[in-house]
Amino acid sequence: MKSFPIKPSLCFLFALFFSIVFTETFSQETSTKLRIIMIGAHPDDCDQDGGGTAILFAKMGHAVKFVSVTNGDAGHQTEGGGVLAKRRKAEAEEAGKRFGVAYDVLDNHDGELVPSLDVRLQIIRKIREWNADIVIAPRPNDYHPDHRYTGVLVQDAAYMVGVPNVAPHIPPLKKNPVFLYFQDGFQRPNPFRPDIAVDITSAFDQKVNALDAHKSQFYEWLPWIGGYSKDVPQSDADRKKWLAQNRAVKINDNMRKSLEKWYGKEYSEKVQHAECFEVCEYGTQPNEEEIRRLFPMLKKN
């Protein structure tokens, strides 16, 4: 069979065509793929407060990372130090697989966190490396000092992520992310405001299955410090059922109103499980249209 060699000029045109197609496709994907980073004090905090929302983001093809600012080496009644930190890191990694997210655990001591410059720089680096569109963290008023100071540290990082001369070896973000708070029940100095409410009913069972990976916490430490160890079932199946009941958040009137805003009255009345977030005054201030872009799982009325 006679062969017909392709002329170099045609090769160049083919290469140019595929280069344009690839670049256009890649730019479209990167422009629509959201990047969310949730930052908690301990290796189970993001899981509890934003795990259902993380699952929904991940299933839609968006990139989610959980960061624990401490290694959790104090959170147990009989274990501690490096042994416990290693156990909790392994639990976090397993939970990350079950959630479908990346999971980083920073090597700061549990119970000793302070809003130092060193830790602030750690958080700035994590937010920049992830090129975050959304950053979610606790409010800086909480019963646990690690939770409070995680909130302060993220607030302190909110402006600095765009300053080139701070942590200069990592490029600053071109656009300041939207910073949000996880939900809590504390009333002073001001109560949590559910600006955004996400229906996680479809993701709740998967969330419980992921929380189950933190066995040192949900079946050992938290029941012990809370005085309800006797309530923890023995079998794995019964434990998961108990965990689902123990960690379900009751939807209050304010949450229901927010759900109604984002999903409509008829739909919102059927929601069984939800996670809510408050918009922080720092960072980009989103309007309703921007919130719907950043939270594509919200259904229009």
* pLDDT per residue as tens digits for the range 232-280: 999 999 999 999 999 999 999 999 999 999 999 999 999 999 999 999 9
Alpha carbons 130 and 105: distance in angstroms, whole number = 15
Which residues pair with residue 134 across a beta bridge? 36, 178
Q: What is the mean pLDDT of residues 194-210?
A: 98
Q: What is the mean pLDDT of the chain?
A: 92
User: Could you tell me if 113 and 128 are in contact, meaning their C-beta atoms sit under 8 angstroms apart?
Assistant: no
pLDDT of 31: 58
Helix (H, G, I), strand (E, B) or coil at 196: strand
pLDDT of 22: 42
pLDDT of 17: 47
Query: Residue 4 — pLDDT band, cuts 50, 70, 90?
Result: very low
CB atoms within 10 A of CB 222: 19
Q: What is the mean pLDDT of residues 191-206?
A: 98
Q: Go through the domains of the chain in sequence order and give each one's CATH number.
A: 33-294 (3.40.50.10320)
Share of the chain above pLDDT 70, in %: 89
pLDDT in tens, 122-163: 999 999 999 999 999 999 999 999 999 999 999 999 999 999
Alpha carbons 254 and 197: distance in angstroms, whole number = 10
Per the listing, tokens 């079932």 go with: 233
pLDDT of 300: 66
Phi, psi of 278 (to 5 degrees): -110, 140
pLDDT of 32: 85
Per the listing, tokens 């009137």 go with: 253
pLDDT of 301: 58
Alpha carbons 131 and 84: distance in angstroms, whole number = 31
Q: Which helix (H) or strand (E) holds 105?
A: strand 102-105
Residue 135 CA to its chain's centroid (Å) = 8
pLDDT of 19: 46
pTM of the model: 0.89
Per the listing, tokens 């302190």 go with: 156
Per the listing, tokens 């993380």 go with: 54
Alpha carbons 43 and 9: distance in angstroms, whole number = 57
Q: Which of 122, 244, 251 is nearest to 197 (CA)?
A: 251
Alpha carbons 9 and 151: distance in angstroms, whole number = 59
Alpha carbons 266 and 49: distance in angstroms, whole number = 25
Q: Residue 111 region, left (φ>0) first, then alpha (ψ -120 to 50), else beta?
A: left
Q: Does the pLDDT of residue 299 top 90, yes or no?
A: no
Q: Cβ neighbours of residue 288 under 8 Å, at least 6 residues apart?
A: none
